Amino acid sequence: MIAYSIPFLCWLFFGATVAGIFGALLGIGGGMFIVPIMVLGFHLPMKYAVAASIVSVIATSNAGGSSYVEKRIANIKLAMYLEIFTTFGAIAGAALALHLAEWLMLLVFALLTLYMGYGSFTTRNLDEQRIAAGSFNTPPTGTLAKKLDIHGAYYDQSLKQEVPYHVTGLGLGGIISVLAGLCSGLLGVGGGILKVSAMNRYMNVPMKVSVGTSKLMIGITAAVSSLVFFLAGTLHFSLVGPVALGTTLGANIGTSIMNRLRSRDLKLVFTVVVLYMSYSMIAKAIQLHWGIHLPSFGA
């Protein structure tokens, strides 16, 4: 049993709170931020960080997801459809995480965040353009999309207007959700990192609905993965406590302000944060495997 000091756990709680705020704003559970914080800032082993993060994702999903449902931002029907695919990937990812080398996990995490930062920046004006053109409300043409007929509307506080939408691209969304589940189990990020981008970019779902729907789903995905880590003995409950409490507090704060911000601003903040974290994780991987030191946070 590893003992952690009180100041260490307090700082970990603070870091988790910040991660929870960003996670709620972007619908990605906080794991994308708490894992680098734990590995780079607190020098914890990657597998311990992933295991603690995946449990905290359950807490943040409960805190943020219910609020987004009440505000009619999350789409429950879409969440249930995508979660069928994500769960299978989550089991495979968690099993794989127990066998991969730490430097390789760091590298995979970094490349994933690098891609997501690029995608977020290149689509930063997408929502405003689609809302202005009314293209979110275009009826679907695909057979599966027509049959399931997933649609909805939400009130955008920043734009002060109702935004109706019809979901398309359900086949591609299912494939990406399997990959999202794989990333969730492997990296402790809840899967939202891929699902938010997939829903917004390929399924004609507004950014804020993507965030709310992802927040609703990630707890289910994380619960499946956490069982694998628990059985493998990599869950340290002294780490899980402050991380879960901090991310839950942060999730409540982030959820309360998300709909007041412009989608473009959310994506720009996301891009800046994840690009630096991606670089830091690459630097850590290079240091562990090749012994080459690059300047970065916590290295």
In a domain, 1, yes or no: no
Show the tokens assigned to 137: 């409300």
Rounded to an integer, what distance in angstroms lies between the CA atom of residue 45 and that of residue 261? 35
Q: Could you report the per-residue pLDDT of 103-136, keeping only the tens digit for each?
A: 888 888 788 778 878 888 888 888 988 998 999 9
Angle between helices 76-97 and 207-232 (to 10 degrees): 30
Instruction: With residue 217 as reference, give the H or E element that holds it.
Output: helix 207-232
Show the tokens assigned to 73: 């931002």
In a domain, 210, yes or no: yes
Q: Which domain holds residue 55?
A: 6-290
In a domain, 295, yes or no: no
Q: Number of structural domains, the chain?
A: 1
In a domain, 296, yes or no: no
Q: Could you report the per-residue pLDDT of 39-98, keeping only the tens digit for each?
A: 888 888 888 888 888 888 787 777 667 778 888 899 999 999 999 998 888 888 888 888
In a domain, 59, yes or no: yes
- Phi and psi at 44, nearest 5°, equal -90, 150
Give which of 116, 115, 93 is closest to 210, Cα–Cα.
116
Rounded to an integer, what distance in angstroms lies between the CA atom of residue 182 and that of residue 81? 17
> In this predicted structure, what is the pLDDT of residue 164?
96
Rounded to an integer, what distance in angstroms lies between the CA atom of residue 205 and that of residue 200? 5
Residue type, 274: V
Instruction: With residue 161 as reference, give the H or E element that holds it.
Output: strand 161-166
In a domain, 88, yes or no: yes
In a domain, 298, yes or no: no
What pTM was computed for the model? 0.76
